[in-house]
Amino acid sequence: MNPEEVKALVEAGFDGADVAVEGGGDRFQIRVVSDAFEGLMPVKKQQLVYATINAQIQSNTIHAVQIITFTPAEWEKAQKMGLA
């Protein structure tokens, strides 16, 4: 898979999310900024992202992922602090 294919899968699971994907082959880094994460614990946020690519993980098309999630407010704060 390529990053654009993974990005399309993740975007399909989140209305209006800002999604960035890096990597290739079967290893990717995924960053998602979404209102859907408001009030959720980090594990639940990751589970929501995993759900969008679960078929590819089960088929071993995607072997390893690093997922970073933010609410819009968290993303803005991270950018201001130079962490994003």
Residue spans of the domains in the chain: they are 1-74
What are the residue ranges of helices labelled H in 1-84? 3-12, 42-58, 72-80
Tens-digit pLDDT profile for residues 24-83 = 989 999 999 999 999 999 999 999 999 999 999 999 999 999 999 999 999 999 999 987
Which of these, 74, 70, 68, 59, lies nearest to 23 by C-alpha position? 68
Tokens, residue 38: 């408001």
- Which residues are CB-neighbours of 23 under 8 A, at least 6 positions away? 3, 6, 29
Return the pLDDT at 82. 87
- In this prediction, residue 70 carries a pLDDT of 97
Dihedral sign, CA of 67, 22, 57, 12? positive
CA distance 55 to 12: 14
Fold adopted by 1-74: GMP Synthetase; Chain A, domain 3 (3.30.300)
Question: What was the pLDDT predicted at 83?
Answer: 79
In the prediction, which pLDDT does 84 show? 75
